[in-house]
Amino acid sequence: MFKFLPVLLFAIVGSVFAENYKNPGYGDYGNNQCAKWCAANFRHSGKTCTAPAAKGKGPCYDCGPKSTNRAKKLCNGVCKDTKSDSANCGKCGKSCKKDTEKCQGGSCVPSCPAGKTKCGSSCVDTKSDNANCGKCGISCKKDTEKCQGGSCVPSCPAGKTKCGSSCVDTKTDPQNCGECGKTCPSGECENGACVAPGCAGQTCDTFTACGPGGSCVCASVAGGRGFCADGQTPCSGLADCNASVDCPSGQVCVVGSCCTRNVCISADTCTNPASKAAFKKVSGDTVGSRSGGM
């Protein structure tokens, strides 16, 4: 029997060698490291830590001394990735705020919902946020601009309209009279209609023609300014007025016309100056009526 003892010992040694070769750390210094670490961190370390370590697995290799991921830490007996775990962000026990934060790179950062962008420590809508308009850090001018669709645009107060990059009153702005881009040749705009300063004081007997063909007359407007009006405009159906503010936008209050009352009338294309012409009130049914030559 003793003659077989060397063979038996050789077989046992070979088996141990093979186990060491297949399972790094089994029986070597690494396994001793794991054994100590497992004993220090687990109450019953054999099954959950030491035994798996003998096969190069388990907590020792996942988050212990044999781990290659430095972000993995043993937190309450479980390996956690502190770079991404919201309950252990950066270190064990550090929790990110529920629903509003997430763990990213070991730090708690805002968890922004759809349509929101993280700017600094907040989630914002860059389409409407005045401090982050279009992208983070782009601020709109206080009191004069607002963020709209991701761009800073004029924040116009009541009664003003955005024309280009400015807020204007289209009732009085000669560059945007009645609407954006409509320019008054006379340089004056009243209630959204272009008026002519030179027509002040005109009456039915002293109208000045302001357009070709004799069909347009320069009627006096309440307030002392003038206005080019179509002399063939019927008086019936025109609204009464005392001043242009009584008329709809784009119309002015005409006085001294051949109508028997002050009337609201719209601007037309009569803008070319012409010589003085005599007009005669015939029946009072049109704004002006020609009685003679120029």
Q: What angle do CA 274, 280, 283 make, to 5 degrees?
A: 135
Give the DSSP H or E segment for 13.
helix 5-22
pLDDT for the residue 7: 44
pLDDT of residue 21: 39
Instruction: Tell me: pLDDT of 282 over 60.
Output: no
- Measured distance CA(98)–CA(114) in Å, rounded: 17
pLDDT at 12 over 70: no
pTM: 0.38
CA distance 226 to 130: 44
Retrieve residue 161's tokens: 């309209």
| Residue-wise pLDDT tens digits, 199-234 | 555 566 666 666 554 556 777 777 667 777 777 788
> When comparing pLDDT for 22 and 104, which is higher?
104
In tens, the pLDDT along 93-151 reads 999 988 778 899 999 988 888 888 888 878 899 999 999 999 999 999 887 788 999 99
**pLDDT above 70: residue 46:** yes
**Least trusted range by pLDDT, from 63-67, 175-179, 181-185, 273-277:** 273-277
Enumerate residues 6+ apart whose C-beta is below 8 A from 239.
Answer: 246, 247, 263, 264
Residue 53 carries which side chain, given as an amino acid letter? A
Spatial distance between the Cα atoms of 267 and 227, rounded to a whole number of angstroms? 8
pLDDT beyond 90 at 79: yes
Q: What is the pLDDT of residue 71?
A: 92
**Would you give the DSSP letter of residue 183?**
-
Query: Is it the case that residue 58 has pLDDT exceeding 60?
Result: yes
pLDDT value at residue 156: 84
Which of the two residues, 276 and 69, has the higher pLDDT score?
Answer: 69
Residue 268 pLDDT: 55
> pLDDT value at position 150?
95
Note the pLDDT of residue 250.
83
Cβ partners under 8 Å of residue 77, min gap 6: 41, 42
- Name 52's Cβ contacts closer than 8 Å, sequence gap at least 6: 58, 59, 60, 61
Average pLDDT over residues 245-274: 75
Of all residues in the chain, what percent carry a pLDDT higher than 90?
A: 34
Distance, in Å, from the CA atom of 5 to the CA atom of 52, rounded to the nearest integer, reads 32
For the ranges 21-25, 178-182, 206-210, 280-284, the maximum mean pLDDT occurs at 178-182
